[in-house]
Chains A and B, each alone.
Chain A
Amino acid sequence: MKFQNYMILEFPSRSANEGFARSAVACFAAQMDPTLEELGDIRTAVSEAVTNCIVHAYPAGLGIITVRCRILKDHTLDIVIKDKGVGIPDVEQARRPSYTTGGSERSGMGFTIMESFMTDLDVSSAPGKGTTVHMRRKLQRKQ
């Protein structure tokens, strides 16, 4: 087994679940003994990814969002956030700072924040099939 522990969450795309998702991932990550800053970074990145699913993936109604977290052997937290929604036609454009289709309540900084707060970020999407955000954060080992 390449990972030491894992968890899978599934919930509908209701905005009330944004806080639940980031808190659940932070609780799971707590066993890795992260610093407060690392925990804040993880909560923020998860919040961005889940919010993207809620705002953009299912414009016609509610859909399912899946969050999978694994603890890898090199003290890395591996997070996959997945929806089966409309997909992103142009991922490169969506990742550009300040690009948003969400109006004045959105800042277009979601992907920028995910990129700067996580060690790796990979976004794959297919129109009509959904979007998968795969991110990793390597944590410091405390002495």
Chain B
Amino acid sequence: MHFTSFLEDGRLTIALTGEIDHHCAKAYIQVIAAKIEAYMPDVCILDFRDVTFVDSSGIAVVINALRNMTQIEGKLLLTGISSQPMKVFRASGIDKLVEMKEAVL
């Protein structure tokens, strides 16, 4: 699994891709944790623009990323979220814990 990421002014952007389900959630969790640990950013931005599907495993990915960022007193932000993932996040209430921006159509 390969994710593009870049660091600019303490802001780490990680571009996620594909379908986030239980089959691959563990890999997403580990990659995000490793990048946060390596770069120690003030803000971590998970870019969802190329994520085509999310189920409740995706919620666990976000919760784990939030935990990683809280530990280093940083902030987590999700951007580019399309309608299916957004509906899952809203159904779980996690949109109230993490700042989320929907994809601009």
Taken residue by residue from 99 to 125, chain A's Cβ proximity to chain B (1 for < 8 Å, 0 otherwise) reads as 000001111111011001100000000
Q: Which of A18, A41, A48 interacts with B87 by CB under 8 Å?
A: A41
A113-140, CB < 8 A from B = 113, 116-117
Of the stretches B9-17, B38-46, B59-67, B71-79, the one at the interface is B59-67
Interface residue SS majority, chain A: helix
- A109 touching B56, Cβ below 8 Å: yes
- A76 interface contact, C-beta 8 A: no
Closest chain A CB from B47 CB (angstroms): 20
- B23 touching A105, Cβ below 8 Å: no
Interface size on B, residues (CB 8 A): 22
List residues of chain A with CB under 8 Å of any chain B CB: 15-16, 18-19, 22, 36-37, 40-41, 43-44, 47-48, 51, 54-55, 97, 104-110, 112-113, 116-117
User: What 4 A-B pairs have minimum CB-CB distances, sorted nearest first?
Assistant: A40-B84, A107-B59, A15-B23, A109-B56
Q: Which of B23, B53, B64, B92 interacts with A109 by CB under 8 Å?
A: B92
* Docked complex Cα distance between A78 and B23 (Å): 25
* Docked complex Cα distance between A18 and B29 (Å): 18
* Docked complex Cα distance between A55 and B6 (Å): 34
Other A-B pairs, 12, CB within 8 Å; known A51-B57, A112-B91: A19-B23, A37-B83, A40-B53, A41-B87, A54-B22, A105-B25, A108-B56, A109-B91, A109-B92, A110-B56, A113-B56, A117-B87
Measured CB to CB, the nearest residue on chain B to A16 is B23
Query: Which chain B residues lie closer than 8 Å to A112 at the CB level?
Result: 56, 91-92
Using known A-B contacts A105-B29, A107-B57, A116-B91, determine if residue A15 contacts B22 with beta carbons closer than 8 Å.
yes
Query: Which chain A residues lie closer than 8 Å to B19 at the CB level?
Result: 19
Query: Which chain B residues lie closer than 8 Å to A18 at the CB level?
Result: 21-23
Query: Which chain B residues lie closer than 8 Å to A113 at the CB level?
Result: 55-56, 88, 91-92
- A107 touching B92, Cβ below 8 Å: yes
